Amino acid sequence: MTPKPLYNARDQTPAYQLRYTWCGWPSHDSFEELPAGIWDSLTSDWEGDGLRRLERTAHGDHILLTFSTTPAVSPVLLAKKTKGRLQHAFGEAGFPSVQFSRKLAVRSVGDNTTRAVHHYIDSQVETAGFVDSSFAEILSQFTTTDDSVDLSQPSESNSGRYWYNLHLVLVTEGRYRLVDESALRILHEGVPKIAAKKGFRVAAVSVMPDHLNVALRGSIEQSPEEIALACQNNLAFMVNRGPIWRPGYYVGTFGEYDMDAIRHLVRAQSASPVTQGHGGRR
């Protein structure tokens, strides 16, 4: 009998910063120019899908868009909603012959690069400044990196290429400190076990007494919310202590390029004026 989940989406109060670029190309010839009013309608429709358009650049040979999303949106869903609504918009604008190439590119981006996230996770024990050096030494064995997971490489699918990198942080309820080595080891060994079961890859993990950091390449069909809940529930069951995590999490995207690089690219391509977000966690 499958245990009842301790954590579910409706009980969560997550913090998140999830941003992606989407790039599409025409199957032949070139894209026609969409009127400003069509772009406004698209932006409104995407909001209803959980996608907030941040920047865009549209040329005859490609369309590049940047979105922020909610944790419930997977890269595959983002790709589907973006391409589908654009295709419909071209038809409404009187360009029904415009077709997209089957190839596309979705890339996770953020304020931090892959290098910065790796450094942050690797330095957890050092920056904590534990007075007890022996405890710090014990903890250091639970911060590891898997060099076989290259987050600069995309996941390939029939529809295109996806770079889907997430930084996930879980915090213990009430900042309760897990200090026994056996529990810390269970958590450390549990993360890659969950990853193998759920189809994502772990590049780095750090288990601290009151929180957990993971850098991972997600399965493109799974949303950040699904991945976070899988880790919360499975790790809690593994240590057999009930709901040890705060009913929330932090999850953020990152990649080889940060948001400043994306904005520079948009400006360099003489894009339409940048459309800023509305504030909030997205």
- Read off the pLDDT of each residue in 36-48 and give the average, rounded to a whole number: 96
pTM value is 0.91
Question: What is the phi/psi pair of residue 275, to 5°?
Answer: -100, 115
Confidence at residue 282, expressed as pLDDT on a 0 to 100 scale: 53
Rounded Cα gap, residues 195 and 213, in angstroms: 14
Per-residue pLDDT of 144-195, as tens digits, reads 999 999 999 999 998 899 999 999 999 999 999 999 999 999 999 999 999 9
Rounded Cα gap, residues 66 and 122, in angstroms: 29
Q: Where are the beta strands (DSSP E) in the chain?
A: 15-26, 51-59, 62-69, 100-109, 143-145, 155-157, 160-163, 165-171, 201-207, 211-217, 250-254
DSSP state of 271: -
Residue 77 — pLDDT band, cuts 50, 70, 90? very high
Rounded Cα gap, residues 228 and 166, in angstroms: 10
281 vs 30, which has greater pLDDT?
30
- Read off the pLDDT of each residue in 88-107 and give the average, rounded to a whole number: 91
| Domains in the chain: ranges and CATH | 15-109+258-268 (3.30.70.1290), 112-254 (3.30.70.1290)
Helix (H, G, I), strand (E, B) or coil at 80: helix
- Read off the pLDDT of each residue in 82-109 and give the average, rounded to a whole number: 92
Q: Residue 50 is encoded by which pair of tokens?
A: 């959980």
Task: Tell me what percent of the residues of the chain surpass a pLDDT of 70.
Answer: 94
